[in-house]
Amino acid sequence: MAKSMSGQNIVKPSAESLAASAQAASKKGAPPVHLWNPPFCGDLDMVIKRDGTWFYQGTPIGRPGLVKLFSSIIRKDGDDYFLVTPVEKVGITVEDAPFVAIDFDRADDALVFRTNVEDEVTAGPENPIRVERDATTGEPSPYIRIRANLEALIDRKSFYRLVEEGEHAEHDGVEWFGVRSGGAFFPIIPSEELS
C-alpha cells in the first residue's frame, strides 16, 4: 500500500475491489452511477474491444456475470469512459462502444434491442438509432443509445435485419432510407445513394 503526500494510505484500484463495490451498490437495483462523484483513482488496464469482449490485464474476462456487473457501473464523461462506484472512479479503454446490440425484435411499432450484457432497450426518441459511415470506405457503423450517453454498436447480423425493416421517408427536407420505432424515424442512408 502506497502513501499519499498527506500520509494517507492509497489503495491501487483493481478489478476485484471494483467488483466488490459494484456488487454492494447494485443490491438495491441499478447502480445510480450518475449520482456518484468519487475521486479519480487512475486508469485500470481494462479494455472493451469493438466486438464487446472485455479484457483485464490483456486477458479476456471469461465470467459473464462479472462483465455484466462491470457494465452496470460504466459511465462516459466527455469522451472518456470510467467504472464508477461510490468510492472509486477508474478510467478504462473502450475501442468503439461499451455495448454490442446482438439482436432485436419487432413489438408492434417498436424495435426492442438486446445487448451482450442483457440490457433491453426500445428504440425511440429517448434511445435513438444513429449510423456513422466511414469517410473512406463508406462502411456503416450503426448504434443505439442504451442509457445516459452510452451506446451499443449494432452487430452486423442485426443491422442486416434492420435494413429489411427499412423504408424511404423525408427527414429534415431530404429523402432518406431508414427505420421507424417508437414513433420516430431514424435515417440510415440518403435515398439518392441507393439508386
Nearest to 171 by CA among 116, 139, 128: 128
d(CA 140, CA 133): 4
Q: What is the pLDDT of residue 26?
A: 58
Task: Provide the whole-model pTM.
Answer: 0.86
Q: Are 153 and 97 in contact (CB under 8 A)?
A: yes
pLDDT digits (tens, 9 = 90+) for 1-43: 333 344 444 456 677 767 776 666 555 567 889 899 999 999 9
pLDDT digits (tens, 9 = 90+) for 94-142: 999 999 999 999 999 999 999 999 999 999 999 999 999 998 998 999 9
Q: How far is CA 18 from CA 12, 108, 161, in A?
A: 11, 40, 37
Quick one: DSSP state of residue 62? Answer: -
The DSSP bridge partners found for residue 182 are none
